[in-house]
Amino acid sequence: MRLMEMSKDSLTLGQEDGQGRQQTITDKIYSVIREMAGTQKVLKISDVKERCMSKGYKPDQIDEAIEEYEELNVFSINQAKTKITFIDVN
């Protein structure tokens, strides 16, 4: 359900009509991660945490967001928990 909501929300990004739902901290952290990735498929978790903390997020909030999106199969985390790999749905 959450993945579908995020999918729909991504279609209206940048549209400030006031009808969308309020973004949670997890959503905002995911936006930072997505922005960092650009066209890359792999990111270092240390880089992600550094960028997110520079934007004022706490380490536990970042970990929670990463876990949530991993559970949604948006990306996967390697066993050593050092890299995020985006899952290609094509």
> Hunting for tokens 């973004």 — which residue is that?
23
Asked whether residue 12 carries a pLDDT value surpassing 90, the answer given is: no
**Residue 48: strand pairing partners:** none
Q: What is the mean pLDDT of residues 5-24?
A: 65
**2 three-state secondary structure:** helix
From the centroid of its chain, how far is CA 38? Answer: 12
Asked whether residue 27 carries a pLDDT value surpassing 70, the answer given is: yes
Q: Using an 8 Å Cβ cutoff, are 78 and 8 in contact?
A: no
Fold held by 23-86: Arc Repressor Mutant, subunit A (1.10.10)
Residue 14's pLDDT band (cuts 50, 70, 90)? low
Residue 30's pLDDT band (cuts 50, 70, 90)? very high
Q: What is the mean pLDDT of residues 13-39?
A: 79
Q: What is the mean pLDDT of residues 16-39?
A: 82
30 is written with which tokens? Answer: 């995911």
